[in-house]
């Protein structure tokens, strides 16, 4: 079976697994403990992992806050900023093509009296910077825009969008979950971004661990927000809870490898993607159309419409040989809101499939499509 649902989750690399085992077997100490070796070893392991993650993003160590994944990071930041700045304003801007863990938080906040502007997106799912500029108001407290779309791979121009936010003095968050390990994310070069969400299991690390990156100013002050989880005060009081050391160590190793292999991995995914699209074109020519842009996107995501064919029926038939999906695993029971925001009819949405590749796959493996 060829696994082409890497946008949903990736397998854990052997190097990552090996590092994690140590902290599942012998090294079980709580990093918040003091004096004895089991605790200080664990503390050291968390620090080392944090360093690897910082290198991948070019952020500082204090700016990394461990969470359980991007869903939590998105909740933490949007709810946290909304609560902290509610007296200043109650307007938030996002887009119609966000992940549900952003959209559902916005719907929750609407019920609490916040006003949300959902920006339209173009036919590839991207936000137009002019639309953002026009939507900003005096009472806007936060803008949240996805970096790379999880269904189409389309990239938003985060540098331009966050600069607009900065010029208007509005906080900016980006959900970078799908961009990590596929394009360079240089935190130091996007000063307009105040908050970023990412998750380990999209970059060959374990599930249940992610980060929020929270911008520090020149006086080492983090942008304030109300914590989502209160308790022991870990992570500078921004996210309480005992450190999941094995997961953090796994994320650290996955980040180290993603950083070292960024160029080679993205080149390999480009190669695989062009091979896959060529095979699909040759095989199905007029019966398919591509929903992903071939330029401003992350490599490795091919969203394609099989004209006149129901995607659920096709996916079920493919399942013994190819594992793929109709879009986001987090909203798999509903027709894609992303494709609908891009202007697709419900019928077109129900004919669309996402194939998402891994840099650890080979050209030879793509040949399975020729046998369909």
Give the interface with ligand PMP as residue ranges (CB under 6 A). 69-71, 99, 101, 146, 150, 175, 177-178, 199, 210, 328-330
Cα three-residue angle 315-127-353, rounded to 5 degrees: 5
Query: Closer CB to ligand PMP, residue 66 or residue 369?
Result: 66
Please confirm, yes or no, whether 106 is among the known catalytic residues. no
Q: What DSSP designation does 127 have? A: P
User: Taking Cα atoms as reference points, which of 136, 130, 98, 146 lies closest to residue 115?
Assistant: 136
Query: Closer CB to ligand PMP, residue 105 or residue 171?
Result: 105
Query: Closer CB to ligand PMP, residue 6 or residue 265?
Result: 6
Q: 207 near 196, Cβ under 8 Å?
A: no
User: What is the dihedral sign for C-alpha 157, 185, 260, 42?
Assistant: negative
- Other Cβ atoms less than 10 A from the Cβ of 124: the count is 20
Query: Closer CB to ligand PMP, residue 77 or residue 276?
Result: 77
Q: How far is the CB of 73 from ligand PMP (least distance, A)?
A: 8
d(CA 91, CA 162): 17
Please give the full DSSP string across 191-228, using - where no structure is assigned: TT--EEEEEGGGTTS-SS-EEEEE-B-TTSPBPP---S
Set 183, 330, 335, 365: catalytic member = 330
Q: How far is the CB of 125 from ligand PMP (least distance, A)?
A: 12
- Quickly list H helices, 90-185: 100-111, 129-135, 158-167
Q: How far is the CB of 52 from ligand PMP (least distance, A)?
A: 18
Beta-bridged to residue 155, according to DSSP, are: 148
Q: How far is the CB of 10 from ligand PMP (least distance, A)?
A: 11
Question: Sheet harboring 115-119: ordered strands across?
Answer: 64-67, 210-214, 195-199, 171-175, 140-146, 91-95, 115-119
Q: How far is the CB of 254 from ligand PMP (least distance, A)?
A: 13
Which residue's beta carbon is nearest to the bound ligand PMP?
Answer: 69
Query: Closer CB to ligand PMP, residue 147 or residue 369?
Result: 147
Q: What is the set of active-site residues?
A: 330
């Amino acid at each position: 079976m060829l696994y082409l649902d890497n946008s949903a989750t990736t397998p854990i690399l052997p190097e990552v697994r090996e590092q994690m085992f140590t902290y599942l077997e012998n090294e079980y100490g709580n990093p918040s403990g003091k004096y004895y070796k089991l605790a200080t070893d664990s503390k050291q392991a968390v620090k080392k992992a944090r360093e690897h993650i910082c290198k991948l993003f070019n952020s500082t160590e204090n700016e990394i806050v461990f969470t359980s994944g991007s869903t939590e990071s998105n909740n933490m930041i949007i709810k946290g900023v909304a609560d902290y700045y509610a007296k200043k304003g109650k307007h938030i801007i996002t887009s119609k093509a966000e992940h549900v863990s952003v959209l559902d938080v916005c719907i929750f906040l609407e019920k609490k009296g916040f006003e949300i502007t959902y920006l339209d997106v173009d036919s590839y799912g991207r936000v137009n910077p002019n639309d953002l500029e026009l939507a900003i108001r005096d009472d806007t407290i936060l803008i949240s825009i996805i970096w790379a779309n999880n269904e189409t791979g389309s990239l938003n121009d985060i540098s331009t969008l966050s600069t607009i936010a900065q010029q208007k003095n509005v906080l900016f968050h980006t959900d970078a979950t799908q961009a990590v390990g596929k394009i360079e994310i240089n935190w130091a070069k996007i000063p307009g971004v105040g908050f970023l969400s990412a998750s380990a299991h999209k970059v060959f690390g374990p599930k249940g661990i992610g980060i929020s990156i929270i911008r520090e100013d020149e006086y080492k002050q983090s942008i304030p927000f109300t914590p989502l989880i209160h308790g022991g005060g870990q992570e500078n009081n921004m996210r309480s809870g005992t450190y999941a050391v094995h997961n953090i160590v796994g994320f650290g190793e996955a980040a180290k490898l993603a950083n070292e292999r960024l160029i080679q991995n993205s080149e390999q995914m480009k190669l695989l993607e062009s091979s896959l699209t060529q095979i699909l074109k040759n095989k199905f020519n007029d019966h398919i159309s591509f929903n992903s842009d071939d330029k401003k996107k992350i490599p490795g995501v091919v969203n394609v419409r099989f004209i006149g064919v129901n995607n659920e029926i096709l996916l079920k038939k493919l399942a013994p040989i190819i594992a793929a999906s109709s879009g986001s695993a987090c909203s798999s029971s509903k027709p894609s809101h992303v494709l609908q925001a891009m202007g697709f009819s419900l019928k077109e949405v129900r004919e669309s499939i996402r194939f998402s590749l891994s840099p650890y796959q080979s050209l030879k493996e793509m040949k399975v499509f020729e046998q369909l």
